[in-house]
Amino acid sequence: MTGRSTLAALTVAALSLCDGRTAVAQGSASTASEARAIAASNGVVSRRGDTLTIRISGRAPLRFINRQADPTATIDFTYEGTVPASALHVVRVHYYETGDVLTVDGVTGDTAHMVNRPEVSPSGRFAAATTYDMSGIGEAVNAMQIWQLKPAPAREVWSLQMLPPDTVGLWGASIAGWSGDSIVRLVRHVVVPGKQNAQGDYPERRAPARLVRMDTTWRLDTLPR
């Protein structure tokens, strides 16, 4: 979801993603981390009970309300601070056994749902986000996105979602960094046969990969560099 959004629209969008998923627990560490992030916002962000508020100069504040009465329809918003070299606020959104990230442009108030906390390119024009889960659980989403941040509002310009039929061959990627505005350096995580560990993850092998900008699109390059 991109563009300005009312709380009602955000709530409907979140509810549409949480059928058949179980609530994500949030402990005191998450609460303490959010408190530090809010304190660092110098009054721009605040929390009162279940309501998280982000103030945008010259615009109505954005409010995000946790909904936890029904475990199968959990929506829980946690503020995680800002993305370096950008005006983006990061709000972690927890649903029923999954989640994503909602970014809020601190200048325009525009919002975007991303698969994870974004990494911004050196010029601030693009952002990359990835998420992966090595457990092979059906609800898990292994995905990559490229967003164009400038000119505002942010818009998704490339994405890839991996939906494996089983755990062998399951793979995902994490971000190692940007090289200029045209290359995202990745670490590719590939499940290999073996037993799950205590966290439920299968063994994996790691290999370098890249996302390369090709004119108006992006190409995944899995060859070692």
Cα–Cα distance between 40 and 22 in angstroms, integer? Answer: 32
Instruction: State the Cα angle at 181 between 146 and 214, rounded to 5°.
Output: 70
| The pLDDT of residue 142 | 86
Binning pLDDT at 50, 70 and 90, where does residue 140 land? low
Domain boundary pick from 98, 114, 130: 114
Res 147 pLDDT > 70: yes
The count of other CB atoms within 10 Å of the CB of residue 208 is: 14
Domains: count for the chain: 2
Q: Tell me which DSSP letter residue 163 carries.
A: -
136 and 164 in one domain? yes
Cα–Cα distance between 5 and 10 in angstroms, integer? Answer: 6
Rg (CA), the chain: 18
Instruction: State the Cα angle at 50 between 44 and 52, rounded to 5°.
Output: 20
User: How do residues 39-90 score in pLDDT, each as one tens digit?
Assistant: 999 999 999 999 999 999 999 999 999 987 777 778 999 999 999 888 999 9
Domain boundary pick from 86, 114, 142: 114
Cα–Cα distance between 83 and 78 in angstroms, integer? Answer: 15
Question: What residue numbers bound the domain in which 14 lies?
Answer: 1-114
| The pLDDT of residue 8 | 31
134 and 120 in one domain? yes
Cα–Cα distance between 28 and 64 in angstroms, integer? Answer: 20
User: How do residues 76-127 score in pLDDT, each as one tens digit?
Assistant: 999 999 998 889 999 999 887 788 999 999 999 999 999 999 999 999 999 9
119 and 107 in one domain? no
69 and 82 in one domain? yes
Please tell me which residue, 27 or 4, carries the higher pLDDT value: 27
Domain boundary pick from 95, 114, 133: 114
